[in-house]
Structure 1
Amino acid sequence: MRVRKLTFAALAVAAGLSLTACNGDDGTAQDDGPSASAPASPDGGADAGAPEQGGGKESAGNTAGGQDTDGGSGGQSAGSGAEAGAGACRTDELDVTASDSTIDGDSEGSVAVTFTNGGGRDCALTGYAGVDLRTAAGDVSAERTGQEAGAMTLEDGKSVSFTVSYPVNDSGGSGVRVTALVVTPPGETKSVTLEWPGAATLPVTDGAGSPVRVGPIGSAGQGGAS
């Protein structure tokens, strides 16, 4: 399905209409439909989304509700550039996890998404992953932060993380409830759906544009990889 970027005004209307209908939603990840996001390609383009077939290579502890206890904070870099001959990392080779990384006092909430290479080979990652938040009012696609997005080689068994930031709902209202996080690795069309580990709701405002932003691969943690 084609990504629909919601304006805040649209979220406000939709949130009001959907509050009653969503009372029975248990907030678990949805993995039986196509990704809401088209993955970002290195040249700024996007590939069409594709249905998730069981998601990426997920461990038993990292399915819906699982959290990466490291939070992508490993200290060793996976490499400053992609090695010659290293093929692109495929969704099925990556264990994808997400954990709350918000620091007390921050004006925004943040979630660290971690890719762990379990494919038995070194592989290349470049740029930005595709990120969507599924909400009670519809899907919200994360916008790129604009930070430099270089190429890197992710060695077999190593991990690298990036940050998803979002506004905190401190309005006192119910806001728009987030039900899942959909992640598509760079250059891929197959997505992984995870339980959203961040704050339960996004604020409803009258502004335009996406309230959610995604940083490039390596933008979370010390050195970006472990």
Structure 2
Amino acid sequence: MRVHRLTFAALAVVAGLSLTACNSDDGAAQSDSSSAPSASSSAGGSDSGGSGTGGSDQVGSDQAGSDQAGSDQAGSDQSNGNGSDGKGSGGQGTVAGTGSNANGKVGKCRTDELEVTATDSTIDGDTEGSVAVTFKNGGGRDCTLAAYAGVDLKTNQGELSAKRTGQEASPMVLKDGKSVSFGISYPLNKSGGSGVRITGLVVTPPNETKSVTLDWPGAATLPVTDGSGSPVQVGPIGSAGQGG
């Protein structure tokens, strides 16, 4: 009986050792199994952060998101009138001001763009003689004329410069194909003497240096003066006639 008990006890120990070994193997297998995903996860993280396909896809996705955000922002700016289509307050001002006379976009009239003529405008009974000088714009564009033109008379005693009447006048826009006139007044020679003979008229458009020489259409002579000043006066642009 003692021998059987010892045998059973020995079998129980062997069985316990075998069970322990099995459990140990199962635990190691489970440990190995749980560590495998960790290694795989590590490898996947390396791909997404490096130069591999996963990293490239991630960067492309971020870039697409950034582009989408920029597009949304541009749309928002446009709807608020801040875009570059000129519908905002700044763009509208730029478009409205282009070529505008009010904004000083019209250049001055050049001598070569003007047809200059002179006619006698003296009326019977006037105490003074008068000549009307006309500027016709033939330059193919609108242009501006300042208040006074330059006027000189050529005489047998030298050149005589006309003085301004002093009338106030503002610069004006002369439309292409249109005309405007100004007047020259001078004393009539009623002395009975030969006087000062007029041989020509020199006209210089406002703010120009190039002049035009015309035949003098008025009285042939001026009375002799004492040299105290010019007896010839020039009016501002628009002071003769209504233009056309």
TM-score by length of 2: 0.57
Match of 2:121 in 1: 101
- Distance in 2 (CA, whole Å) between partners of 1:169 and 1:208 is 17
Deviant stretches of 4+, over 6 Å: none
* Higher strand residue share: 1
TM-aligned CA deviation for residue 206 of structure 1: 2.3
TM-aligned CA deviation for residue 186 of structure 1: 0.1
User: What amino acid is the match of 2:110?
Assistant: R
Are residues 93 and 167 of structure 1, via their aligned partners in 2, closer, same or farther at CA, if it must alter by over 3 Å? same
1:1-226 equivalence runs, <5 A: 84-206=104-226, 208-222=228-242, 225-226=243-244
- Distance in 2 (CA, whole Å) between partners of 1:86 and 1:215 is 24
TM-aligned CA deviation for residue 114 of structure 1: 0.2
Match of 1:78 in 2: none
2:173 aligned counterpart, secondary structure: strand
- Distance in 2 (CA, whole Å) between partners of 1:128 and 1:82 is 21
User: What amino acid is the match of 2:218?
Assistant: G
Are residues 177 and 217 of structure 1, via their aligned partners in 2, closer, same or farther at CA, if it must alter by over 3 Å? same
Deviations 1:168-209 (CA, angstroms, capped at 9, x unpaired): 001000001000000000000000000000000000132510
Deviations 1:25-84 (CA, angstroms, capped at 9, x unpaired): xxxxxxxxxxxxxxxxxxxxxxxxxxxxxxxxxxxxxxxxxxxxxxxxxxxxxxxx8773
Deviations 1:126-154 (CA, angstroms, capped at 9, x unpaired): 11000000000000000000001211100
Matched residues, number: 144
- Distance in 1 (CA, whole Å) between partners of 2:148 and 2:138 is 20
Structure 2 unaligned spans of 5+: 1-100
Are residues 174 and 181 of structure 1, via their aligned partners in 2, closer, same or farther at CA, if it must alter by over 3 Å? same
- Highest RCO, 1 vs 2 (Cα 8 Å, sep ≥ 6): 1
Are residues 83 and 167 of structure 1, via their aligned partners in 2, closer, same or farther at CA, if it must alter by over 3 Å? farther
Q: Which has the larger radius of gyration?
A: 2
- Distance in 1 (CA, whole Å) between partners of 2:239 and 2:103 is 20
Q: Name the Cα RMSD after superposition.
A: 1.3
User: What amino acid is the match of 2:186?
Assistant: Y
Give identity over the alignment, percent: 76
Asked if the contact 1:82–1:125 (Cα under 8 Å) also holds between the matched residues in 2, the reply is no
Asked if the contact 1:122–1:156 (Cα under 8 Å) also holds between the matched residues in 2, the reply is yes
Are residues 138 and 126 of structure 1, via their aligned partners in 2, closer, same or farther at CA, if it must alter by over 3 Å? same
Asked if the contact 1:82–1:153 (Cα under 8 Å) also holds between the matched residues in 2, the reply is no
- Distance in 2 (CA, whole Å) between partners of 1:97 and 1:82 is 29
- Distance in 2 (CA, whole Å) between partners of 1:138 and 1:154 is 33
Asked if the contact 1:82–1:152 (Cα under 8 Å) also holds between the matched residues in 2, the reply is no
Asked if the contact 1:99–1:111 (Cα under 8 Å) also holds between the matched residues in 2, the reply is yes
User: What amino acid is the match of 1:195?
Assistant: D
TM-score by length of 1: 0.62
- Distance in 2 (CA, whole Å) between partners of 1:83 and 1:184 is 26
